Structure 1
């Protein structure tokens, strides 16, 4: 236990504004205390250790000698980032970053890569951003990043504590490399038609640091079909009124498309349930939760089912939900909810496959926040949310065409004739 004066100091520091705490000077001993809090909190609350190759005890052992020389906030942030990388989990993050920190996946990325038959391949490109604008397309093989062979470029992002480097760890490392950092323009060398070609997705500036939208959502009529696209605003409670207004205006359409492909930053359950509640006429379960920390500590399982209640003026015509790699976290919950309630047909590609629900914590001395998945989430029938794939797979398109939207329109127009 900390001496009384140290506990009092920690309490006083937490009362300081975050900007002042960031400027405060801490001793190596205080950084050691902070790391111990971080490490212990992750150990007790992170709920996906069973599917990782991570040796979390080894992470602490590796950090202990480094902590003795930590004297600045930046050094401590980098140490925490490296520790979180050992989880190879895109849903675990810090609330702060350095200029050379990796961009968050998927929120601040414009390409999605995977290893296919041993080759690093671009499997999807985010619509409207730098990668698409310069001509990068799905199916291109990535050979190098900023002139570094791709196998070499991913090495800094593969954990040092892993019992074995599994495919999941390599894929996360690949996407961290492709994401780039907050200050260095990327150069991707890819194979196109058997030839090497260089692309510069950040040539017009680091636009991924400041993605702008025209509004919380976009809505329109496509003939007799309604279309609503959510612009990464599922964490904004103002979306509820905007969505209600848009849906009411489209209430006489013969089918509706709900586009969640530009929702990488998650959201909150209030907004999510408000949206789902407009598509049902009776209370229904939509998601199963499992809190593993209680079982780890006490040996008692804790699970519960979350319900959605219907809201006034429900939309009862056929519904198609569009999803993709930049459908992350809460929109994934909306998707498995509407699917589980058999209220929608889901089309597109795999989603971001983010693990569970995140809980947020704050380190005592430095005040640095971090987020980790602490609840497992499941579709109502028990399918893990991160394992869900759309009912109708539509390969990604880029360069102006939108095959997924075309397929959705065709399906709804056909159903409206019957």
Structure 2
């Protein structure tokens, strides 16, 4: 669930291209200082995941505050705040503006995800239908360089300057920032596969990540007796509710359903989420727990709530499998843990985007643009942090390349469930 302090679509922080910084009247040094103080204080008082970060936020104020006297343009100030926010190494924290050479946002602005395995950067997931996949990149390949810069050199500059120690989470974020590149960068990836070095060009002939287009809010079809619905990153669009209802109605006679959330990195809103979940239950149930960190930090009194889902008309009661992956983010992660908590679906796939909490948006008083940070911790009803959820049914993406192993396994499960 996403809250805002100013009128902003909940999914804004994860849109592929935030509003590009517009030329405006130059601010005074005092105004830059005021905006920076507001930014630092707001994060200090409201960001709810400091306890699992190695960030020295007090040092952030000193380190970046010392750079303010050299700031004379909004572009420079934007870069300073980008770097300061990057100290949190949190993919759910972002500015609402960017520069042409800003880093693409994770996960919505990338098509490859990698982790360090035994000290080596290895591809663990590739976004289906995007340039990385078309160029030949596959899970299991070892990454060597980006644009001919070895990753051993490309990653360290993306790590924060104000970390107490560099933990694995910070290294993973920096690695994937290097792989995502900048908005104005055409990437060349050097990988090692089966002992050979390969040169791959995921942004040729066009930089697709800057021009994502979907055929519709969702896609659907019937596969034998099983229904299939894929959400196309539209969980923040209220029109999806009507489209989903009519699509599910058309598949009402199927023996089971696959709900594909593998292309939902851009967040959404809980109204749409509850509308979807409500079509699969017959009793009101809780789907996720919220904790409000700022109130606890200020008063020492813990506050938490459980959000409920109410059943809606014409419930679909047959077996349901939900497909998830690295591009299942934010509100889609909430839907996933909700279905799991309500024991209404089998969750199948890989780790999700692991985006922290619910975000809130704030606007700088002078510069006019905003920033978004997680201000509520989110949990599965049973107490597991939402970002730590892992599907019960996992799939090895390195097996049977060129096939949709997750969908095939889902169909097998539903076929077995339909047997008398």
**Interval containing the TM-score (normalised by the shorter chain):** over 0.9
Q: Which residue of 2 aligns with 1:409?
A: 411
- The answer on whether the counterparts of 1:101 and 1:182 sit within 8 Å (CA) in structure 2 is yes
CA distance in 1 between counterparts of 2:380 and 2:33 reads: 40
Post-superposition Cα deviations, 1:314-338, rounded to whole Å, max 9, x if no partner, equal 0000000000000000000000000
Superposition RMSD in Å: 1.3
User: Is the aligned partner of 1:82 residue 2:83?
Assistant: yes
Give, in angstroms, the shift of residue 22 of structure 1.
4.5
CA distance in 2 between counterparts of 1:301 and 1:71 reads: 43
Q: Which residue of 1 aligns with 2:291?
A: 290
1:56-95 correspondence to structure 2 within 5 Å: 56-95=57-96
Give, in angstroms, the shift of residue 396 of structure 1.
2.3
- The answer on whether the counterparts of 1:356 and 1:373 sit within 8 Å (CA) in structure 2 is yes
CA distance in 2 between counterparts of 1:302 and 1:404 reads: 38
User: Runs (4+) of structure 1 moved beyond 3 Å?
Assistant: 18-22, 397-400
CA distance in 1 between counterparts of 2:86 and 2:393 reads: 33
User: Is the aligned partner of 1:324 residue 2:330?
Assistant: no
Give, in angstroms, the shift of residue 20 of structure 1.
10
CA distance in 2 between counterparts of 1:83 and 1:399 reads: 40
SS at match of 1:221: strand
1:21/1:205 Cα in 2 relative to 1: closer, same or farther (>3 Å)? closer
Post-superposition Cα deviations, 1:363-412, rounded to whole Å, max 9, x if no partner, equal 00001110001000000000100000001001226864100000000110
Structure 2 regions of 5+ residues with no counterpart? 1-18
Using the size of structure 2 for normalisation, the TM-score is 0.94
User: Is the aligned partner of 1:100 residue 2:105?
Assistant: no
1:158-237 correspondence to structure 2 within 5 Å: 158-237=159-238
CA distance in 1 between counterparts of 2:21 and 2:79 reads: 20
SS at match of 1:32: helix
Give, in angstroms, the shift of residue 34 of structure 1.
0.1
Q: Which residue of 1 aligns with 2:369?
A: 368
Structure 1 regions of 5+ residues with no counterpart? 1-17
Q: Which moved more, 1:333-342 or 1:59-68?
A: 59-68
Give, in angstroms, the shift of residue 25 of structure 1.
1.1
Count of residues in Structure 1 that have an aligned counterpart in Structure 2: 401
Q: Which residue of 1 aligns with 2:127?
A: 126
1:12-91 correspondence to structure 2 within 5 Å: 22-91=23-92
CA distance in 1 between counterparts of 2:25 and 2:144 reads: 43
1:203/1:343 Cα in 2 relative to 1: closer, same or farther (>3 Å)? same
- The answer on whether the counterparts of 2:295 and 2:303 sit within 8 Å (CA) in structure 1 is yes
Return the index of the structure with the highest Cα Rg. 1
- The answer on whether the counterparts of 2:20 and 2:99 sit within 8 Å (CA) in structure 1 is no
Give, in angstroms, the shift of residue 108 of structure 1.
1.3
CA distance in 2 between counterparts of 1:400 and 1:98 reads: 36
- The answer on whether the counterparts of 1:22 and 1:366 sit within 8 Å (CA) in structure 2 is no
Using the size of structure 1 for normalisation, the TM-score is 0.94
- The answer on whether the counterparts of 1:100 and 1:181 sit within 8 Å (CA) in structure 2 is yes
